[in-house]
């Protein structure tokens, strides 16, 4: 086998990010605490084609970004090596720390735009909270080493310094021809993700945006199989990132969370969500890591729910449907007409469907396939294999099916999932709630 080495670090948009501080403390007066509510958009080529932008839009995209050159130092300490990643939040730079033996670090330069600076304050606050709770450094959440504000090229920026990590799991699969990982590798990834999420839930925090892009390999080293030419990671050690959108149990919960393809049914239906919504996202991720493809490849609510019923081979319960329809029972100026069709087709945000758009009020069933957006949408759902076909291993299939229950209270908790037989052998003991 031939061995390669690559470096990559990736971070998300302004409502998410990473974890841990050993130098600085958050000066809450420097930032205003502010939440942005925005539909999370997937970035994969399988999800959406990148639209063309005008020159004015391109200029707006560049607003507030750091101006940098290779070899320059930030804060007279962090020598810039190259760009490790870039997004709406700003730029992630691969740097060498001159005060810690030229240690390689990832420095996130937040865009000097108010909404991104506000989001950075939330991110820092959450990461420092997690750091304080992670006394044994076993949470598997990415470490925030420090943060600071400094002027660079005549512009003030906020910088977050993280441990340097490898590629995210989605990018690894993409560069591997969208092939998934071996079952043993998936088992290792799944166990670590459950441990990280269990830690978050134990401190009353929902991640809210779990997906392969937010899981980084600790090392980008890989070997190449001579038979299949597929890349095989040298290490399966991972870290969970992107905590900028994380929500505490006692905080106000936004209506919409998670990237579309990993969104739990209760979120789509506008019902209360909590820790089980993270578990649903993990179930979707686990299948994708095995197959290399999205479990629910869709862009719209009705098709998404139809895929759920088809893949999981069961309809939504009348109880769940009734709870989703309850807010519309006495709705003025909308509701349901005599022909049992919704009068108002959309909520304020066109990307969100209302429950009465999705379910028949009288029959308490999904309005599918009669309300499908197109015949191709119906065929798309019909062509999907069931979960048992996607996940042939019986123990793994059983684990995932129990994480993908429609009723959130019926899903496994992270701790229960860690004690599932899929993870246990004669040499391993059940996981205890020690975090």
**Above 80 in pLDDT, residue 401?**
yes
Count of CB atoms situated within 10 Å of the CB of 331: 14
What integer is the mean pLDDT of 52-68?
Answer: 60
What sign does the CA torsion over 411, 398, 217, 132 have?
Answer: positive
The CATH number assigned to the domain holding 18 equals 3.30.200.20
For residues 406 and 327, the model is more confident at 406
In the chain, the percentage of residues whose pLDDT exceeds 90 is: 71
**Above 60 in pLDDT, residue 295?**
yes
Per-residue confidence (pLDDT) for residue 154, from 0 to 100 = 80
**Does residue 98 form part of some domain?**
yes
**Does residue 119 form part of some domain?**
yes
Place of tokens 């044994």: 136
Which of 49-53, 84-88, 156-160, 403-407 shows the lowest mean pLDDT across its residues?
Answer: 49-53
What integer is the mean pLDDT of 49-76?
Answer: 67
Closest CA to 359 of 306, 404, 405, 295: 306
Is 209 among the residues known to form the active site? yes
Q: What's the burial of 102, exposed, middle or buried (CB within 10 Å: 0-12/13-18/19+)? A: exposed
**Above 50 in pLDDT, residue 160?**
yes
Per-residue confidence (pLDDT) for residue 64, from 0 to 100 = 84
What integer is the mean pLDDT of 120-145?
Answer: 95
**Above 60 in pLDDT, residue 51?**
no
d(Cα 17, Cα 77) in Å, to the nearest integer?
23
**Above 80 in pLDDT, residue 340?**
no
- pLDDT tens digit string along 312-324? 999 999 999 999 9
DSSP secondary structure string for all residues of 404-416: S-SSGGGSPPHHH
d(Cα 217, Cα 319) in Å, to the nearest integer?
41
Going by pLDDT thresholds of 50, 70 and 90, the confidence category of residue 395 is very high
d(Cα 375, Cα 62) in Å, to the nearest integer?
41
Per-residue confidence (pLDDT) for residue 435, from 0 to 100 = 46
**Above 90 in pLDDT, residue 329?**
no
Distant-in-sequence, close-in-space partners of 413: CB < 8 Å, separation ≥ 6 = 198, 201, 275, 276, 279
For residues 160 and 335, the model is more confident at 160
Per-residue confidence (pLDDT) for residue 61, from 0 to 100 = 54
For residues 205 and 330, the model is more confident at 205
Going by pLDDT thresholds of 50, 70 and 90, the confidence category of residue 89 is confident
**Does residue 406 form part of some domain?**
no
**Does residue 394 form part of some domain?**
no
For residues 188 and 66, the model is more confident at 188
d(Cα 88, Cα 53) in Å, to the nearest integer?
14
DSSP secondary structure string for all residues of 183-236: HHHHHHHHHHHHHHHHHHHHTTEE----SGGGEEES---EEE-TTT--EEES--
Going by pLDDT thresholds of 50, 70 and 90, the confidence category of residue 62 is low
The mean pLDDT of the chain is 83
What integer is the mean pLDDT of 307-333?
Answer: 89
**Above 60 in pLDDT, residue 291?**
yes
**Does residue 174 form part of some domain?**
no
Per-residue confidence (pLDDT) for residue 352, from 0 to 100 = 65
- pLDDT tens digit string along 216-273? 999 999 999 999 999 999 999 999 999 989 999 999 999 999 999 999 999 999 999 9
Per-residue confidence (pLDDT) for residue 151, from 0 to 100 = 86
Place of tokens 């597929």: 230
Distant-in-sequence, close-in-space partners of 20: CB < 8 Å, separation ≥ 6 = 127, 128, 130, 131, 134, 141, 142, 143, 144, 145
Per-residue confidence (pLDDT) for residue 425, from 0 to 100 = 62
Going by pLDDT thresholds of 50, 70 and 90, the confidence category of residue 331 is low
Per-residue confidence (pLDDT) for residue 153, from 0 to 100 = 81
Catalytic residue among 19, 209, 301, 357: 209
In the chain, the percentage of residues whose pLDDT exceeds 70 is: 78
**Does residue 148 form part of some domain?**
yes
What integer is the mean pLDDT of 73-100?
Answer: 94
**Above 70 in pLDDT, residue 32?**
no
Per-residue confidence (pLDDT) for residue 296, from 0 to 100 = 99
d(Cα 420, Cα 400) in Å, to the nearest integer?
10
**Does residue 273 form part of some domain?**
no
Q: What's the burial of 115, exposed, middle or buried (CB within 10 Å: 0-12/13-18/19+)? A: middle
Which domain range does residue 137 map to? 11-36+61-163
Per-residue confidence (pLDDT) for residue 18, from 0 to 100 = 31
Q: What angle do CA 230, 231, 234 make, to 5 degrees?
A: 145
Radius of gyration of the chain (CA): 22
What letter does residue 365 receive in the DSSP assignment?
A: E
Instruction: Answer yes or no: are the C-beta atoms of 48 and 260 closer than 8 Å.
Output: no
**Does residue 364 form part of some domain?**
no
How many domains in the chain?
1
Containing 157, the helix (H) or strand (E) segment is strand 155-163
For residues 51 and 258, the model is more confident at 258
For residues 149 and 34, the model is more confident at 149
My answer on whether omega of the bond before 369 falls inside 30° of 0, hence cis, is: yes
């Amino acid at each position: 086998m031939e061995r390669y080495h690559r470096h990559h670090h990736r971070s998300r948009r302004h409502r998410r990010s990473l974890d841990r501080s050993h130098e600085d403390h958050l000066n809450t007066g420097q930032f205003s605490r502010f939440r942005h509510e925005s539909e999370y958009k997937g970035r994969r080529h399988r999800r959406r084609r990148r639209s063309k932008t005008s020159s004015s839009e391109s200029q707006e995209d560049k607003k507030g970004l750091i101006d940098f050159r290779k070899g320059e130092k930030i804060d007279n300490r962090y020598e810039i090596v190259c760009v490790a990643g870039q997004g709406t939040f700003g730029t992630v730079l691969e740097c060498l720390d001159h005060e810690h033996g030229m240690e390689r670090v990832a420095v996130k330069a937040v865009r000097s735009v108010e909404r991104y600076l506000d989001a950075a304050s939330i991110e820092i606050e959450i990461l420092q909270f997690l750091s304080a709770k992670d006394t044994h450094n076993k949470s598997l959440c990415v470490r925030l080493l420090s943060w600071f504000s400094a002027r660079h090229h005549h512009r003030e920026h906020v910088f977050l310094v993280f441990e340097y990590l490898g590629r995210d799991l989605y990018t690894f699969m993409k560069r591997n021809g969208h092939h998934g990982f071996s079952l043993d590798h998936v088992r290792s990834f799944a166990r670590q993700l459950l441990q990280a999420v269990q830690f978050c839930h134990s401190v009353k925090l929902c991640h809210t945006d779990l997906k392969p892009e937010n899981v980084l390999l600790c090392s980008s080293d890989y070997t190449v199989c001579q038979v299949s030419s597929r890349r095989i990671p040298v290490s399966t050690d991972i870290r969970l990132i992107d905590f900028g959108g994380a929500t505490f149990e006692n905080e106000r919960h936004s209506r919409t969370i998670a990237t579309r393809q990993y969104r739990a049914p209760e979120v789509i239906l506008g019902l209360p969500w909590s820790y089980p919504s993270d578990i649903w996202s993990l179930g979707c991720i686990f299948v994708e890591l095995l197959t290399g493809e999205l479990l629910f490849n869709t862009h719209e609510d009705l098709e998404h729910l139809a895929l759920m019923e088809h893949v999981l081979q069961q309809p939504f319960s009348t109880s769940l449907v009734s709870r989703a329809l309850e807010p519309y029972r006495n709705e003025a100026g909308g509701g349901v007409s005599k022909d049992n069709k919704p009068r108002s087709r959309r909520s304020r945000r066109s990307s969100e469907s209302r429950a009465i758009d999705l379910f028949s009020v009288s029959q308490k069933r999904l309005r599918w396939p009669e309300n499908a957006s197109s015949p191709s949408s119906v065929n798309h759902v019909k062509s999907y294999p069931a979960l048992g076909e996607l996940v042939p291993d019986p123990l793994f299939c059983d684990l995932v099916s129990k994480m993908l229950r429609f009723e959130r209270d019926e899903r496994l908790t992270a701790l229960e999932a860690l004690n599932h037989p899929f993870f246990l052998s004669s040499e391993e003991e059940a996981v205890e709630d020690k975090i």
